C-alpha cells in the first residue's frame, strides 16, 4: 500500500511537469489551431536561463529560487513572442501544414543553436531552492516534488482565471472561436496571439526550472522527450482544452511511473502510448475535448 502511494506521489510530480508543458501546447492550439513544436525547446531555454542565473543568486534560498523562476518565465515569454513575431506571423493565413513545418524548423533551430551557445555537454543544474525530505510513515516526499506540484497547481489556477475572468482572456476565447468575427468586434488579433504565445512560453519556462530542479542534468536536447510526452498529454486531455491538458499530464505521468516501477518497465513508453491510442479510439476528441462536427 505504501509503495502504491509512493508511486502515486512520484507519478503526480512527474505528471505536474508534463501538465505545465502541455498547457502551452493546448493554448496555442486553442487560438491558432496548430501545434507549436518549438514549445519543448522554449522549455529547454527556460532551464538554461535558470542555470546561468542560478549561479548569480545565493544557493538554497527561497527568494533566490523565486527570482530564478520568475526570470526564466519572463525570458521564455519574450522568446515565445519573438518566435511568433518572426516565424509564425508572416505565415498567418497560410496553410496549416506550412506553419507546422515552420514550427519543426524553429524547434530544430533552437536545439542546435542551443548546442552551439550552451555546448552539447550536459550541465549540472544548481540547487536554487532549499531542499529537504519529509517522511510520513514510509512515505517520503522531497521539497522539490512538493514545489513542482504546488507551483504547477498555482499556475494552472492563475491561467484559468486569466482565460475566464480577464478582458484579454475573453479576447483569447473570441479569437479561438472565430478570428474574423473577433476582429470585426474590435479585438486586435495580433496582440491576443502574441499574448497567448507569451503566456504559454512562460509556463514552459517554469516547467523547465521545475524539471531541472528534480533532474539536475540539463542539455540542449532535454526538451525533446518531455515535449513529446506533454504533446501526447495535451491530445489525451483534449487538445485546446486547458483542464484537459492538466488532466492528461497527470494521467500520463502516473501511468508511466506505475509501469516503470513494475517488471514491464522496458515497455514504459509503449504502454503509455497504447493507452493513448485506446482512449482516442473511444473518445476521439480526448478526455475532456468536445467533438465538433464540421459545418458545411
230 vs 290: CA distance, rounded Å: 20
The minimum distance between CB 28 and other proteins, in angstroms, equals: 26
219 binds other proteins (CB under 8 A): yes
34 binds other proteins (CB under 8 A): no
116 binds other proteins (CB under 8 A): no
Instruction: Supply φ then ψ for residue 112, to 5 degrees.
Output: -85, -30
The minimum distance between CB 121 and other proteins, in angstroms, equals: 4
Strand segments, DSSP code E, in the chain are 123-124, 133-136, 139-142, 217-218
Q: What residues form DSSP beta bridges with 142?
A: 133
The minimum distance between CB 136 and other proteins, in angstroms, equals: 11
Residue 267 in grid coordinates: 515497455
Q: Are β-strands 123-124 and 133-136 bridged in parallel, bridged antiparallel, or unpaired?
A: unpaired
The minimum distance between CB 129 and other proteins, in angstroms, equals: 13
Interacting positions 255-294 with other proteins (CB under 8 A):
256-262, 265-266, 268
130 binds other proteins (CB under 8 A): no
Q: Which long-range contacts (CB under 8 A, 24 or more apart) does 68-71 make?
A: 68/128, 68/209, 69/151, 69/206, 69/209
Interacting positions 133-162 with other proteins (CB under 8 A):
133, 135, 140, 142, 144
The minimum distance between CB 276 and other proteins, in angstroms, equals: 19
> 17 or 27, CB closer to other proteins?
17
217 binds other proteins (CB under 8 A): yes
Instruction: Supply φ then ψ for residue 133, to 5 degrees.
Output: -115, 140
The minimum distance between CB 271 and other proteins, in angstroms, equals: 13
Q: Are β-strands 123-124 and 217-218 bridged in parallel, bridged antiparallel, or unpaired?
A: antiparallel
Interacting positions 224-253 with other proteins (CB under 8 A):
225
Q: What residues form DSSP beta bridges with 136?
A: 139
> 77 or 123, CB closer to other proteins?
123
Contacts with other proteins, residue ranges (CB under 8 A):
2-3, 6-7, 10-11, 14, 115, 119-122, 124, 131, 133, 135, 140, 142, 144, 214-217, 219, 225, 256-262, 265-266, 268
Amino acid at each position: 500500500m505504501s509503495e502504491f502511494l509512493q508511486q502515486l506521489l512520484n507519478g503526480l510530480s512527474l505528471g505536474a511537469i508534463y501538465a505545465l508543458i502541455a498547457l502551452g501546447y493546448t493554448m496555442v492550439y486553442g487560438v491558432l489551431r496548430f501545434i507549436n513544436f518549438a514549445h519543448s525547446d522554449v522549455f529547454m531555454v527556460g532551464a538554461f536561463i535558470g542555470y546561468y542565473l542560478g549561479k548569480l543568486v545565493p544557493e538554497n534560498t527561497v527568494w533566490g529560487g523565486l527570482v530564478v523562476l520568475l526570470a526564466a518565465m519572463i525570458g521564455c515569454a519574450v522568446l515565445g513572442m519573438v518566435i511568433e513575431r518572426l516565424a509564425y506571423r508572416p505565415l498567418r493565413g497560410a496553410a496549416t501544414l506550412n506553419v507546422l513545418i515552420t514550427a519543426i524548423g524553429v524547434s530544430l533551430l533552437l536545439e542546435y543553436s542551443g548546442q552551439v551557445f550552451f555546448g552539447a555537454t550536459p550541465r549540472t543544474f544548481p540547487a536554487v531552492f532549499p531542499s529537504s525530505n519529509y517522511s510520513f510513515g514510509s512515505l517520503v516526499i522531497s521539497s522539490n516534488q512538493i514545489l513542482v506540484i504546488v507551483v504547477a497547481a498555482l499556475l494552472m489556477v492563475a491561467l484559468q482565471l486569466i482565460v475566464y475572468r480577464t478582458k484579454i482572456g475573453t479576447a483569447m476565447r473570441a479569437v479561438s472561436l472565430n478570428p474574423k468575427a473577433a476582429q470585426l468586434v474590435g479585438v486586435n488579433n495580433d496582440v491576443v496571439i502574441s499574448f497567448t504565445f507569451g503566456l504559454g512560453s512562460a509556463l514552459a519556462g517554469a516547467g523547465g526550472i521545475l524539471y531541472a530542479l528534480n533532474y539536475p542534468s540539463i542539455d540542449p536536447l532535454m526538451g525533446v522527450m518531455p515535449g513529446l510526452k506533454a504533446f501526447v498529454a495535451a491530445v489525451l486531455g483534449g487538445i485546446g482544452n486547458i483542464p484537459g491538458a492538466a488532466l492528461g499530464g497527470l494521467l500520463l505521468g502516473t501511468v508511466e511511473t506505475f509501469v516503470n516501477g513494475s517488471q514491464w518497465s522496458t515497455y514504459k513508453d509503449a504502454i503509455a502510448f497504447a493507452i493513448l491510442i485506446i482512449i482516442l479510439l473511444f473518445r476521439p476528441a480526448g478526455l475532456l475535448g468536445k467533438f465538433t462536427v464540421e459545418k458545411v
